[in-house]
Amino acid sequence: MVESRQRLEARERGRGVRENRGRSRGGDWRRGREGEAREIMEGEWREESQRRLEARERHEREWKEESRHRRWVSRERLEARVKEARERMDEGFLKKPSSNVGVLP
């Protein structure tokens, strides 16, 4: 009996012909051509979702660092303004009182 090409290919892959059938012919959908395609697609989807997740995490990390830096810069500026205002106030108090005592600048 001459073995069919399908049978030979199936045997090379270590499966029987029955397992090589697609779902429509009563085979296991995870095996055979359709199943292999589906496994490949699922693998690609998994990789894609993993890439998206990593990109999102990286973006969130960078954004947190940037916002932390922005807060730090604004705090520095605020402290500088407060210091400047205090110095101006001190200068005003050290000056000899003028006629407009109690009037704010």
Q: Could you tell me the pTM of the whole model?
A: 0.37
Using the structure block, give the residue that is written with the tokens 């959908």.
29
73 in a structural domain? yes
Span of 16-20, 33-37, 94-98 with lowest mean pLDDT: 16-20
Task: Provide the residue range defining the domain that includes 74.
Answer: 9-94
Q: Which residue has the higher pLDDT, 16 or 57?
A: 57
The residue with tokens 């973006």 is 59
- Does residue 63 lie within any of the structural domains? yes
Evaluate if residue 80 carries a pLDDT over 80.
yes
pLDDT band per the 50, 70, 90 thresholds, residue 102: low
Please check whether residue 101 lies inside any domain of the structure: no
pLDDT of 23 reads: 52
Q: Is residue 29 part of a domain?
A: yes
* 81: in domain: yes
Structurally, the chain folds into a number of domains equal to 1
Do the domain assignments include residue 48?
yes
Q: Which two tokens stand for residue 29?
A: 């959908």
Q: Which of 9, 43, 6, 14 is nearest to 35 (CA)?
A: 43
pLDDT for residue 25 = 56
Q: What value does the mean pLDDT of the chain take?
A: 76
Identify whether 78 is part of a domain: yes
Asked whether residue 28 is assigned to any structural domain, the reply reads: yes
- Residue 1 clears pLDDT 70, i.e. is over it: no
